[in-house]
Amino acid sequence: MLPVQIQVMNSTLRRVVKRLHYPIEVMLICVRWYVAYPQSLRHIEEMMAERGVEVDHATIHRWAMRIVPVLAKVLRHRKRPVGTSWRVDETYINVYGEWKALFPWALTALARA
């Protein structure tokens, strides 16, 4: 038995891609490569052709436009909550070849330099 989140994701994705003629696994691989890595659609098209799947780059773009919002909505619920307290001790930046400590109160001084 699959967990409820995976069942909901599968049913939602299948509803979105029900009239598309490719297997959902192929579509998800192409969209994942497009979103996760800095590659063009034509590169993904070539990579899929090497694996024996003929797909056009425009088709991959249409898949991405349909699937990415659905994945974002479904996966948003799986994200862990972010706390309300943020702390920054100090950050060092390189200014004209010299490392300097950057504090919030020092931002205006660096902007003038």
Both tokens assigned to 86:
């943020």
- Mean pLDDT, range 37-54, rounded to an integer: 94
| Token code pair at residue 52 | 């024996």
Q: Is the pLDDT of residue 100 over 50?
A: yes
Q: Is residue 29 pLDDT above 80, yes or no?
A: yes
Q: Is pLDDT at 56 greater than 90 in this prediction?
A: yes
Q: What is the pTM of this model?
A: 0.59
Structural domain boundaries in the chain: 4-76
Among 5-9, 25-29, 48-52, 72-76, the range of highest mean pLDDT: 48-52
Least confident segment among 37-41, 70-74, 106-110: 106-110
- The Cα 16–Cα 8 span in angstroms is 12
